Amino acid sequence: MSNFQPNPLQIFKLIFSHLISDYSLKRTPEPISFYNDIEKSLEYSKSQSTNMMIPYAIALNYIQRISTTEKINSALELCCGPGVFTQQLAKITKINHITAVDLSQTMLGLAKANCSSLTDHFDIQFKEMNILNLTTELKQKFNLITFLNGAHHLENLNDVKTVLQQAESLSTEDGIIFVLDPVRPKSDKIANYYINLFGKEYLVKGLNHFFNDFKDSMYASWTPTEMGSSIPENTNKQWIQLIPFGFPAFQILIGIPKNRKQLFLRNDLSISIFKDLLPSHTISDFNLLKTLFKIGLKVQLNPNTYNELEQYHTPIKPSSIKTLKHSHIDKVMS
Ligand SMILES: C[S@@+](CC[C@H](N)C(=O)[O-])C[C@H]1O[C@@H](n2cnc3c(N)ncnc32)[C@H](O)[C@@H]1O
C-alpha cells in the first residue's frame, strides 16, 4: 500500500462519522475563473495518474450498462475540462462522434492535445461554450450527454436545472443523460477528514493546485437532495439518482427514456478494461466505490419518492440505518 492510500480503519471512521452526523455544512460556491490559469489547468491534466480516475471508471461502467444501444453514435460532453474523460469515453465506448464543450480556452487547448492521438479514429469536436446556452449554440441531438464534475461549478440550483433542461432537449428520444458530481460532506470536520485522506495523494505528487481545487469542490458540491431537486419539470425522461452506501463521495443522476422498464441493460465492463484504465494503486478503492454504489440508494425521482429522499438528510441513528436503506432499496428499478 502506498503511503498516501487510506487504510480500512480510516475509511470505516469516515463512513461512521457520516452516518451518525447531521447536515450542517453550508455550501461555498467555487471561486470564479480558476480554469483559465495554465499552471492550474495543467495540474488537472496531470492528475490522470491519481485516484481521480476512479469516478471516470465508475461513470464508464454505468454508461455502458445503461445505454440504449451497445454502440453509441453521438455524445455531448459538458464541461470536458482537459479531456481526460473524453479520451476514455472514446476509447472504451467507441462512440463515433463526440462533441466536448467547456468555457475555458485553456482547458480546451489541453483537451485537444490530450485527445490528439485519437482523432484519426474518432470524430471529436471541441467547442468553447457556456453550458447555460447549450440550445442556442447546438442544433443537433445526441444519444448520450455526459456532465461530470461540472454541476458544482454552477452558481445555483436554477442553473443546474437549466443545464439539465437544455440537455434533455438535445437528447434523442432514446438518449441517456449521465451526471456525476461530488457530494458535499455533512460537516466541516468530515469534509476536512475526507479531503486530507483522499487528497494526500495530490500533495505527495506535487499537485498542490489540484489539491486546493479538490477542496473547493467539496464545499461547492450539492447534497443529493439539492441535486435531486434540479431535474427538469415536465420532463420526458425518467430520472434516477444513485447514492453510494456509507460515505457518499459521489452521486450519479441518470435520465433514461420514459418507456424504459429497466435501468441496467448490460453487465459490468470486464476487469481487464478497468486494469488498463486505472492506475494500479486505485483498483481496490475503485472496487470499494463500485460495491458501495451497488448496495447504495437507487431512487426514482418523482414527487413522491423525492420526499422520501429527504429522509436521507435527517439525522440517521445507527439503529435506523438498515431500515432506511431497505426502504429505499425497494425503489430500485433493477
Ligand atoms: C472540475 S472541471 C471538470 C472537468 C471534467 N469534466 C472532469 O471531470 O475531469 C470543471 C470544468 O467545468 C468548466 N466550466 C465551469 N463552468 C462552466 C460553464 N458555465 N460552461 C462550460 N464549462 C464550464 C470549467 O472550465 C472546467 O473545465
Cα(213) to centroid of ligand 1, in Å?
Answer: 12
The single-letter DSSP state of residue 333 is: -
Tens digit of each residue's pLDDT (9 = 90 or more) over 298-328: 888 864 444 444 444 433 333 333 333 433 4
If one counts the domains in the chain, the total is 1
CA distances from 219 to 10, 157, 279 (A): 21, 15, 27
CB 249 within 8 A of CB 183: yes
Average pLDDT, the chain: 88
Cα(152) to centroid of ligand 1, in Å?
Answer: 9
Average pLDDT value for residue range 39-60? 92
CA distances from 81 to 21, 162, 255 (A): 33, 20, 22
273 occurs within a structural domain: yes
Q: Which residue in 293, 309, 128 sits closest to 229, CA to CA?
A: 309
Q: Is the CB of 87 within 6 Å of ligand 1?
A: no
Q: Is the CB of 181 within 6 Å of ligand 1?
A: no
| Statement: residue 213 has pLDDT above 80 | yes
Which residues, 6 or more positions from 268, have their beta carbon under 8 angstroms from its beta carbon? 61, 65, 290
Average pLDDT value for residue range 103-121? 93
Question: Which position has the higher pLDDT, 324 or 175?
Answer: 175
2 occurs within a structural domain: no
Average pLDDT value for residue range 259-272? 92
Report how far residue 259's alpha carbon sits from residue 43's, in angstroms, rounded to the nearest whole number.
Answer: 43
Cα(302) to centroid of ligand 1, in Å?
Answer: 28
Q: Is the CB of 79 within 6 Å of ligand 1?
A: yes
258 occurs within a structural domain: yes
CA distances from 261 to 97, 169, 265, 329, 334 (A): 27, 22, 10, 17, 9
Nine-digit cell at 171? 437528447
pLDDT, position 47: 84
Average pLDDT value for residue range 180-191? 97
Q: Is the CB of 132 within 6 Å of ligand 1?
A: yes
119 occurs within a structural domain: yes
Angle of CA points 129, 133, 137, to nearest 5°: 65
pLDDT, position 34: 57
| Statement: residue 4 has pLDDT above 60 | yes
Average pLDDT value for residue range 235-263? 93
Report how far residue 278's alpha carbon sits from residue 301's, in angstroms, rounded to the nearest whole number.
Answer: 32
Instruction: Read off the pLDDT band of 119 (50, 70, 90).
Output: confident
* Range of the structural domain that residue 275 is part of: 8-329
Number of H-type helices and E-type strands within the chain: 14, 8
pLDDT, position 121: 87
CA distances from 201 to 164, 275, 276 (A): 33, 19, 20
Q: Is the CB of 80 within 6 Å of ligand 1?
A: yes
Nine-digit cell at 67? 445505454
Residue 149 sits at φ, ψ, to 5 deg, of 55, 35
**CATH code of the domain covering residue 166:** 3.40.50.150
pLDDT, position 74: 97
Tens digit of each residue's pLDDT (9 = 90 or more) over 22-32: 889 999 999 87
- Highest mean pLDDT: which range of 92-96, 98-102, 242-246, 293-297: 98-102
Q: Is the CB of 163 within 6 Å of ligand 1?
A: no
303 occurs within a structural domain: yes
pLDDT, position 77: 98
CA distances from 164 to 17, 169, 177, 254, 274 (A): 32, 9, 8, 10, 29
Report how far residue 120's alpha carbon sits from residue 283's, in angstroms, rounded to the nearest whole number.
Answer: 30
Q: Is the CB of 47 within 6 Å of ligand 1?
A: no
1 occurs within a structural domain: no
334 occurs within a structural domain: no
247 occurs within a structural domain: yes
Report how far residue 95's alpha carbon sits from residue 62's, in angstroms, rounded to the nearest whole number.
Answer: 15
Q: For residue 128, give the H/E element and its range.
A: strand 123-128
pLDDT, position 170: 98
Cα(272) to centroid of ligand 1, in Å?
Answer: 29
Question: Which position has the higher pLDDT, 2 or 52?
Answer: 52
Q: Is the CB of 85 within 6 Å of ligand 1?
A: yes
Residue owning the nearest CA to atom 12 of ligand 1:
79
CB 51 within 8 A of CB 282: yes
Average pLDDT value for residue range 65-70? 93
pLDDT, position 326: 35
Residue owning the nearest CA to atom 2 of ligand 1:
81
